[in-house]
A = this chain, B = another copy of it.
Amino acid sequence: MSDVHASRRMRLRDRCIVSGTAAALVSSPANVRYLTGWSPPGAVLLLAPAEDVIVHCPRTPGEPAEGQPPEDIRCVMLSSAAGDAVVAAAGLFPGLGADSLAVEEHHLTVARHRAVASAVPGLRLTDLGQAVEQLRLVKDEDEIACLRIAAEITDQALGELLESILVGRTERHLALELERRLVDHGADGPAFPTYVGTGPHSGAPRHVPTDRRVEEGDFLSVCLGACYRGYRCEVGRTFVIGTAPAAWQVELYDLVFAAQRAGREALLPGTACRDVDRAARQVIQAAGHGEALAPWTGHGVGLEIDEDPRITPSAMGKLDACVPVTVEPGVHFPGRGGVRIDDTLVVRPTADGGPELLTITTKELLAL
């Protein structure tokens, strides 16, 4: 894997040179991992003409180290008493042959930015912007393979839940059980907090599980995903509890299903992201439920669960091949509930069979 990471760093270096900066300080954890395969707590990556260096502070609170230390980059370990890895990395700077440094202004705090400036007087600080995020947008086949495994794990966890008794159990318990099953099947952990909503909570985007118990006749919405080697996917399904769904439930489900299918079918290279959103959104708007829809109908996934591209009415840009995204329209009526259906897919050209569905759990309306 280290060749992959070295070539990513080379691409970033090329971008820096084009923009007139010879060195970059990457502080966003997902970006550090993308460029090195490793992301210990508080780590930053310094890309400089003379060499690349990771500075990390292994006992900083927060996320554990993820991935393996790279063999081809110098790693400098700070004790947590020695302070901030960003400042320490900047302190290495005078020996590294550059007079300007691009930093991630969307990630670095004002206080850390100032500390970097003070640590190296005379150093010109510029903005790296979203350069690494842009590199991350199109995935290679190894990244997609990780997402595919993450999706398999997620489908397995969800499938097992569907075979168990659900009535009488709380949203919180179901969420914890799903997370345990993700880990059982080989996930690093959940890709994001698992959402379980039943009855009036069903269909709400990002509903935090409560102590409400599943009852006969409820809609039950779940949204979960595995993280595998850092790559995060997402699946969302809505079920009906009991022998047979009510007429309004079938009608609403069919509507959201049609919207989600329209979104999925729009996922082709060259399509504007806002057109994917519109494809899904207009189905629901035409039925008069536009107000009950979330402001997004999908988003990119990868090393973060919510990354570019955004699938929203005002999104800029077009889809490329090999970009994994979710398609997840949902309708929620406060006090009554609703439906969400959410898949992770990879954009592929029609010649390759069109969008690749990673999360294959059935989207039939199951009565459980």
A155 to chain B, nearest CB (A): 20
Among candidates B106, B296, B314, residue contacting A111 with C-beta atoms closer than 8 Å: B106
B residues less than 8 Å from A79 (CB atoms): 295
A295 touches B59 (CB 8 A): yes
Minimum CB distance partner of A113 in chain B:
B110
Count contacts on A: residues with CB < 8 A to the other chain: 38
Say whether A313 faces chain B, with CB atoms less than 8 Å apart: yes
A164 to chain B, nearest CB (A): 15
Copies in the complex: 2
A115 to chain B, nearest CB (A): 10
Minimum CB distance partner of A193 in chain B:
B64
Among candidates B64, B295, B306, residue contacting A61 with C-beta atoms closer than 8 Å: B306
B residues less than 8 Å from A172 (CB atoms): 183
Among candidates B80, B109, B306, residue contacting A105 with C-beta atoms closer than 8 Å: B109
B residues less than 8 Å from A206 (CB atoms): 59, 61, 64
List 27 interface pairs A-B (beta carbons < 8 Å), by A numbering.
Answer: A59-B205, A61-B192, A64-B206, A65-B208, A79-B295, A80-B295, A80-B296, A80-B312, A81-B295, A81-B313, A103-B110, A105-B109, A105-B111, A105-B114, A106-B109, A106-B111, A106-B112, A107-B109, A109-B109, A109-B110, A110-B110, A110-B127, A172-B183, A173-B180, A173-B183, A176-B176, A180-B180
What 6 pairs between A and B have smallest CB-CB spacing? A105-B110, A64-B208, A61-B306, A106-B111, A105-B111, A110-B113
Instruction: Report which A residues bind B (CB closer than 8 A).
Output: 59, 61, 64-65, 79-81, 103, 105-114, 127, 172-173, 176, 179-180, 183, 192-193, 205-206, 208, 294-296, 305-306, 312-314
